[in-house]
Structure 1
Amino acid sequence: MNIKELSKLAGVSVATVSYVLNDSGNVSDETRQKVLRLAKEYNYKPNSIAKSLRTNKSNTIGVLVEDITVWFAPEIIKGISKYADSNQKNIILSDLGLFSKIGYKFQDIEKYKQYINDKMSLLLSTQVDGIIYVGMHDRNIDNVVEKIKRPIVFVYCYTEKSDDVYVTYDNTDISYEIGEILVKRGHRKIAAICGAYDSKPSYKRFCGFKKALYDNGVEMDDKYVKFGNWQSEQGYSCAKELLMMEDRPTAIFAFNDLMAAGALKAARELKISVPNDLSIIGFDDRELSSYISPMLSTVKVPLEDMGVKANEVLGNLILKKKLQSNKIIVPCAYVDRETVGNK
């Protein structure tokens, strides 16, 4: 059935049927109910292609994911899909599979710039209204994605270009909160196992954490600061160095859960009780956090909320609405489990 046939059955004009189906125009309630009843009875489905040609909108969002297998991607996509479902939008998802190509050598992504932009062009050819680009690591991707003529929102990655829009999570304030938590629990010898030297998120976490200690009268000793590569092996080796010191720390803030898990392993090997003799806090709230023993106290990154927000912001860009800021920060939350004790 097409719209002309539906209008004939209802005894109204095609324009009236269009007003009803698009919830617009000045149509009486009686007529509106009649059209909706007949549309349902005859299982009328609007021609989405014809509508997109009329409105120049497909009501479809393209989602380009650097790698769908990385731990956080499904939750972000869940949020994108959640918003789409509640706003009658469709999604076309494309996975670049970059982790299998470059692993943790994120600098090598330049080699796949053409591949990425070819995939972007292919997605744009499906007439999507805009793109959400999901990174596989929270990092700067300047000069990776070429400028496109449709709105784009980056999530779990960022650029330094003033006109680019990205959705990220808070690193600084939540790390300040972690510092305050440890000080309030009586800790004074507090260590940090940071991420990579050139990681902006790691730097922000360190700044927030160090400021909290300073504001609470605790000087952070440089000997208690170690740098890892986000992997559990580095967390283990860094923690072992810290815990074998004569004046060892009583608390460790590891900048992700994998390194925190490595720190737990080191403490166990050295027969240091967690949380009785050592407190450990991670970051991410990965699935392993609630399965290891003792269960890891950590920071929950709001992945689903980031996906929802990215789609919401993209919708505003499509409608040419002015944003308050091109940088949207979603707050994190501390998750208190079993690895933090009093000193």
Structure 2
Amino acid sequence: MLGVEPVGTRDNFFDLGGNSLVALQMLALVKKRHGIAVPTVTLFEAPTVQTLAAVLDERRGESATQPVRQPVRAAPVHVTERADEDRRIAIVGMAGRFPGAPDVSAFWRNLRDGVESITFFSEEELIAAGADPAQVRDPAYVPARPVLDDVGGFDATFFGMSPRMAAITDPQQRAFLEVCWEALEQAGYAAPEHRGRVGVFGGANISTYLLRMTDHLLGGGQKGFTDFEVIMGNDKDALPTTVSYLLDLHGPSVAVQTFCSTSLVAAHLAVQSLRNGECELALAGGVSIRVPDRVGHLYGPGGQESPDGHVRTFDARAKGSMFGDGAAAVLLKRLPDALRDGDHIWG
């Protein structure tokens, strides 16, 4: 049905190119051959041959008249606001990737010690990254940028993603997934038990990965993936829902886009969601990674970018800023609940 061979018992239906329309066709075929009706949502919860076979075995002995069991969802919490209610929100987990700092602790040390985390590139590095040699040699070209280490590195298997799907997914999506997981893990909520509903609020920059790879990813020919898969791996709208799906989080999943204030607005919406009782935990953050990342910029008088690659904030010598890469997420919880559960409160 998918036209893919071979298929392993643990290969994910959707990673192999399946979508909701093909899912309906496949489940109709399952019902025809086995006489067992399987709800479409079950395929999202059991997307491999192994897990779907277990579902079929479980249902095979059930009576045909027995109603199909629906997945159990947490009952919504109805919050009644009181005048004396503590509406404060606690940060119980946080994670990030920053230029010159692989985590939040290193980032804080760099801030404390006044470390400049802007990387300057050689002509060879710039040309190897795809920069125009003539532009690189222009006197107005600034060979510097704040970059992350190893934006291509990603443990696809850990997150249940096939290497094929990981390869067509924007590094922004992969980095945001990593920091969300790390924030949950730091807070002690990596496992689904006792964490309740977890909302995800976040945004990303435009996918320069897709723009650079358009001919390869969306062009015709002998590509091994569909346009739908490419869109899901690169569209900004898919950022939070991908995290919710891969980390099995049940709660609001909202893409936020307000340019430079995106992460702040995401945190604001997460706080509102917690106060409204829509979730028990909320991840909020953002990501921006340019591809290729190790390139400079052409300085223009009156522009926003620095003429020499340095940023001198609150200094009379300040002449411009630098646009770099990064990813971060905080895990938020209502303060009374965090105190009750003994969570470590960062702020």
TM norm structure 1? 0.25
Relative contact order: is structure 1 or structure 2 higher (C-alpha 8 Å, sep ≥ 6)?
2
TM norm structure 2? 0.25
Bigger share in helix: 1
